[in-house]
Amino acid sequence: MIGLVLGTLPFIKTYKENFKVQKLIQEQKKIQFETKEKICKEDNSDYKKFLSLGFPKTAIEKFNICMKEK
């Protein structure tokens, strides 16, 4: 029984480390997405220009293009 527990310790440690890394990667992707979104919706963007002119569909298209580019 003790051998089983001792044998699984390295696996558990590796699993925890991989989990932390995956969580950090997800957080980083979320921050990058939010940054891209902020840039694409800033005052000088095509999105804001078309939205203020009353073309919401075109504004959404421009936003989607901007998000894909960056």
**Distance from C-alpha of 56 to C-alpha of 64, rounded to nearest angstrom:** 12
Mind listing the pLDDT tens digit for each residue in 26-69? 999 999 999 999 999 999 999 999 999 999 999 999 999 999 98
Task: Provide the residue type at 66 as one letter.
Answer: C
The two structure tokens encoding residue 33? 């997405």
CA angle 61, 66, 41 (to 5 degrees): 85
CB under 8 A, 24+ apart: contacts of 40-44:
40/66, 40/67, 40/70
Query: Domain locations in the chain?
Result: 17-69
User: Rounded to two decimals, what is the model's pTM?
Assistant: 0.70
